[in-house]
Amino acid sequence: MGLNTYISVRDLSVSYGGQRALNNISIDIPDGKITAVIGPSGCGKTTFLKALNRLIELHDGTRVTGQVLIDGEDIYDPAVEVTHLRKKVGILMQRPQVLPMSIYDNVAFGPRIHGTRKKRLLDQLVERHLVEAGLWSEVQDRLHAPASQLSIGQQQRLCLARALAVEPEVILGDEPTSALDPISAQRIEEHLFELGKSHTVVLVTHSLEQARRLADHVLFLYLGDLVEQGPAQDVFDRPKYLRTRCYLSGRYVECPNVDQELNLRGKLTTFDQLESTGHSLRVLGTGQVLKIIVDHYSGDNGVAKALEAKGHRILDVKRLNQSEWEILIQKEGGDAYEI
């Protein structure tokens, strides 16, 4: 299950009523792993998550550009059946929201709308998924009681069972433990960890601890930009960019003072860029910062690599728009922005 589900986000931008919430995000989300999305409040984490199953469309005035490919299919293609997409991509919300029906019906709701009618089959499904979500023993004797009578922690586990009942391949979690008491939170976390073994899990969390415990892979979003992403170990232990380092160490995210700017738009080859950058760096003092703007860049840009090899430090790479990037380079030897 889940192994051929491949989520690939290409130049995804989302705006609400003209206000940008996500800025040209491009990323491949690893299969069958837990990917944590971290970042301060309002950085677009939830927007990113809800863009993956098109729940974002329920909000007013949203405009989505770019592509989200799941199994090679652009989910924003008008030909895509959104109900199929959402069956494949389940979500666990921040606050559990049970449906206005019994515990049993909450779990059976999804399978029913997707065509399972036989009572015996539904009974099995309900039991299996309630067991899977760790709720069965607490509710097996009151399956037909209203779901709203459950405690909030139980409701969240019910929501998990409900999401699992449609057999999704991807599970999205929007800070699913943040509204819960510590014990309920821990239980949900354990379930997510188990699910990560068989599903692709994308988990938005504002708890760095939780991300450290669960994540195989980490994305750091800041003000709608994808700042840094990579294997959890790398991002947590050796964050590349200044903004990531600030955030991870609990500091106010600061922007370095730029001492010189260099525009490399239209410089077509990496060599040209490297040459010009080298010249500019030479005139700067130790620890000073150069900002360059380039119009073609890939994740492992030659310029950045070469400069780092020389001991200079890439402080930040910011995507300005579809075709332009801003790279902040600190001249070797400096420690002004060390944390």
Partner 1 sequence: MDLRKFEERVVKSLMIASTCIVAGSLVFILATILFAGLPSLSIEMLTKTPEGGYYLGKEGGILNAIVGSLVLGVTATVIAAMVALPVALYLNVYLRKGSKFGLAVRFFLDALSGVPSIVYGAIGFTVMVWLGMQASLLAGILTVALLILPIMVRAMDEVLKMIPLELKESSFALGTTKLETATRVIARQALPLLLTAVMVSFGRGIGDAASVLFTAGFTDSMPRSLFGPVATLPLAIFFQLGTPFPEVQARGYASAVVLTAIVLFISLASRFLMRASTKNQSR
User: Residue 101 or 293: which CB sits closer to partner 1?
Assistant: 101
Q: Does 179 bind partner 1 (CB under 8 A)?
A: no
Residues 6+ apart with CB under 8 A from 1: 169, 198, 199
Among residues 44, 110, 153, 224, the one that binds partner 1 under rule CB under 8 A:
110
Please report how close the Cβ of residue 13 comes to partner 1 at its closest, in angstroms: 20
Please report how close the Cβ of residue 54 comes to partner 1 at its closest, in angstroms: 9
Please report how close the Cβ of residue 65 comes to partner 1 at its closest, in angstroms: 18
Of 93-101, 194-202, 213-221, 271-279, the window that binds partner 1 (rule: CB under 8 A) is 93-101
Of 88-96, 175-183, 308-316, 328-336, the window that binds partner 1 (rule: CB under 8 A) is 88-96
Please give the radius of gyration of the chain, using alpha carbons only, rounded to the nearest integer. Answer: 23
Check: CB of residue 173 under 8 Å from CB of residue 91.
Answer: yes
Rounded to whole angstroms, what are the CA distances from 71 to 28, 92, 169, 212, 295?
Answer: 12, 21, 11, 28, 30
Please report how close the Cβ of residue 270 comes to partner 1 at its closest, in angstroms: 44
Q: Does 249 bind partner 1 (CB under 8 A)?
A: no
Angle of the 103-113 helix axis to the 152-164 helix axis, nearest 10: 20
Question: Count of CB atoms within 10 A of residue 191's CB?
Answer: 21
| Closest C-alpha among 203, 200, 91 to residue 156 | 91
Q: Does 86 bind partner 1 (CB under 8 A)?
A: yes
Please report how close the Cβ of residue 91 comes to partner 1 at its closest, in angstroms: 5
Q: Does 209 bind partner 1 (CB under 8 A)?
A: no
| DSSP H stretches of helix in the chain | 45-51, 82-88, 103-113, 119-132, 136-139, 152-164, 182-195, 208-214, 232-237, 242-248, 270-283, 302-309
Q: Does 85 bind partner 1 (CB under 8 A)?
A: yes
Q: Does 51 bind partner 1 (CB under 8 A)?
A: no
Among residues 10, 95, 128, 206, the one that binds partner 1 under rule CB under 8 A:
95
Please give the size of the binding site for partner 1, defined by CB under 8 A: 33
Distance from C-alpha of 236 to C-alpha of 215, rounded to nearest angstrom? 11
Angle of the 119-132 helix axis to the 103-113 helix axis, nearest 10: 120
Per-residue x/- marks for partner 1, 138-177, CB under 8 A? --------xxx----------x--xx--x-----------
Please report how close the Cβ of residue 306 comes to partner 1 at its closest, in angstroms: 46
DSSP state of 31: T
Please report how close the Cβ of residue 205 comes to partner 1 at its closest, in angstroms: 18
Q: Does 98 bind partner 1 (CB under 8 A)?
A: yes
Rounded to whole angstroms, what are the CA distances from 172 to 3, 86, 91, 96, 256?
Answer: 16, 11, 4, 14, 34
Q: Does 16 bind partner 1 (CB under 8 A)?
A: no
First to last CA, the chain: 42
Among residues 29, 37, 55, 202, the one that binds partner 1 under rule CB under 8 A:
55
Q: Does 113 bind partner 1 (CB under 8 A)?
A: yes
Residues near partner 1 (CB under 8 A): 53, 55, 58-61, 82-87, 90-91, 93, 95, 97-102, 109-110, 113-114, 146-148, 159, 162-163, 166
